[in-house]
């Protein structure tokens, strides 16, 4: 496995860790929170994040940059869908199969976009009155291949 491919897999694990933290403990009502009449709900943002991972998988596996919007799901199902789609993308990266787009382009497009949306979810948690504790992510136990919603307990949280 190339170093850039391994680093992209680490980035996927980081995305999973941060997304799991942003969604863990959120009430089902949080998924429908609207910060303004024109903003996306957290559930819509999470659906978009799952779509980004589908896009990344299509780019990596098929060499195609095709977009498709998935249908809306309830909050808990949307959380699971995101992690499932991320796992499918990570599995492709972990395989010996050809990756049709460079790691750099996969990062700068769908992966970086998904990371940005995790930040939106954390901010919306605060606006919705469901703030989460901050932490030192440099001390987090983030492991390549661990891309599910189940992540280790944060080691160094702070208020």
**Could you report the per-residue pLDDT of 3-35, keeping only the tens digit for each?**
999 999 999 999 999 999 999 999 989 999 999
Q: What is the CATH topology of the domain spanning 3-23+39-152?
A: 1.20.120
Q: Would you place residue 156 in the very low, low, confident or very high pLDDT band (cuts 50, 70, 90)? A: confident
CA gap 122, 19 in Å, rounded: 9
CA gap 52, 13 in Å, rounded: 15
Sequence-separated (6 or more) residues with CB below 8 Å from residue 90: 9, 12, 13, 145, 147
Tokens at 113, concatenated: 């976009």
Mean pLDDT (whole number) for 106-121 = 98
Q: Where are the domains of the chain?
A: 3-23+39-152
| pTM assigned to the model | 0.95
């Amino acid at each position: 496995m190339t170093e850039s491919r391994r680093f992209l897999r680490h980035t996927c694990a980081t995305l999973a860790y941060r997304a799991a933290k942003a969604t863990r403990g959120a009430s089902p009502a949080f998924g429908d929170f609207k910060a303004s009449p024109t903003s996306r709900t957290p559930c819509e943002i999470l659906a978009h994040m799952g779509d980004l991972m589908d896009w990344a998988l299509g780019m990596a596996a098929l060499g195609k940059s095709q977009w498709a919007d998935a249908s809306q799901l309830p909050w808990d199902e949307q959380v699971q869908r995101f992690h499932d789609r991320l796992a499918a993308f990570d599995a492709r990266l972990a395989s010996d199969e050809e990756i049709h787009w460079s790691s750099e382009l996969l990062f700068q497009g769908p992966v970086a976009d998904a990371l940005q949306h995790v930040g939106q979810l954390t901010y919306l948690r605060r606006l919705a009155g469901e703030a989460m504790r901050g932490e030192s992510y440099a001390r987090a136990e983030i492991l390549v291949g661990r891309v599910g919603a189940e992540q280790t307990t944060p080691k160094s949280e702070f208020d």
